[in-house]
Amino acid sequence: MIPVKSAREIAVMRDACRIAANVLERLCRIVAPGVNTYDLDQEGRRLIESYGGNSACYDYRSGNKRFPAFTCLSVNEEIVHGIGDLRRILREGDIITVDVCVLYEGYIGDNARTVAVGAVDESVQRLLDATRGALGKAIDQARAGNRVGYISNAVEKAVAPHGFGIVRDFVGHGVGRTMHEEPQIPNFGPRKRGDRLRPNMTLAIEPMITLGSPRVEMAADGWTALTRDRSPSAHFEHTVLVTPGDPEILTVADPG
Ligand code: MF3
Ligand code: CO
């Protein structure tokens, strides 16, 4: 069963998501050559706490592991769940995915964006544009009456003409009281798959797209997922509210 939120829950989700979006926006503005990813993560912690929230990533458990950082920072061939590191200094031409997941008053807002560090290769810029575009197309399918598969299929269709890889090992997800609720939202597959969406469901939609092969390898740290062929990977994510009408993106930063 996909959870349907009450009006009160949605009000809190709006706050959690606004915080997550504000933090993401501010972190992305700090990204520049010479910045190391540990400092970026620490700034993420400070910002989240300055808004009265907590990181939903820090101490997140998977099996007997606990995630040791406050945000997920994934550079170049890293796909998701990268850990900030003092020795990882961003250089011109890199890309970095900043993923901010905030817990606020019992509810979670989740969003991510891949940004360029200075000027990047044309092919990498196309990867970023295609992934952002695929997220937009996917969000547009988050409509009452559509199946989850409409979202999945929209990503696959948007990416196909570019020939980029679609990561299959990680999926989007329902989000609310916990980071990962039903449903799972793959970034590929037929429209007929999955349950039908209803108003007041909240979904984290997140295509992860690679320039080369989408095959995944795990780093020795037990968390960081990277491409086996070391090709760059992009990832854009929003938390979205299904409404009786158009989908509403909840992870929108305040102006300024
Ligand atoms: N946005 C990420 C996700 O949906 C947040 C992961 S936090 C971590 O998986 F602790 F798992 F790294
Ligand atoms: Co997510």
Q: Does 3.90.230.10 match the CATH number of domain 7-249?
A: yes
Specify whether the CB–CB gap between 55 and 103 falls below 8 A: yes
Closest CA to 210 of 227, 224, 223, 225: 227
Task: Report the atom number in ligand 1 closest to the C-alpha of 172.
Answer: 4
Ligand in closest contact with the CA of 204 = 2
Strands 202-205 and 238-241: what pairing?
antiparallel
> What pLDDT score does 25 carry?
98
> What pLDDT score does 256 carry?
84
Distance 72 CA to ligand 1 centre (A): 7
Specify whether the CB–CB gap between 113 and 180 falls below 8 A: no
Residue ranges lining ligand 1, Cβ < 6 Å: 57, 60, 67, 72, 81, 99, 101, 110, 179
Q: Rounded mean pLDDT of 17-27?
A: 98
Of all protein residues, the one whose alpha carbon is nearest to atom 10 of ligand 1 is 57
Task: Report the atom number in ligand 1 closest to the C-alpha of 110.
Answer: 1
* Exposure on the CB side of residue 54, measured as CA atoms within 13 A: 10
> What pLDDT score does 143 carry?
98
User: What's the pLDDT tens digit per position in 226-250?
Assistant: 999 999 999 999 999 999 999 999 9
Percent of the chain whose predicted confidence (pLDDT) is above 90: 100
Return the domain boundaries, the chain: 7-249
Q: How close are the terminal C-alpha atoms of the chain, in Å?
A: 39
Task: Report the atom number in ligand 1 closest to the C-alpha of 67.
Answer: 10
User: What's the pLDDT tens digit per position in 38-68?
Assistant: 999 999 999 999 999 999 999 999 999 999 9
Cβ neighbours, 10 Å, residue 8: 8
The residue to mutate among 80, 114, 237, having the most atoms of ligand 1 within 8 angstroms of its beta carbon, is 80
Token digits of residue 123: 């092919």
User: What's the pLDDT tens digit per position in 150-206?
Assistant: 999 999 999 999 999 999 999 999 999 999 999 999 999 999 999 999 999 999 999
User: What's the pLDDT tens digit per position in 84-135?
Assistant: 999 999 999 999 999 999 999 999 999 999 999 999 999 999 999 999 999 9
Query: Alpha helix (H) ranges present in 160-244?
Result: none
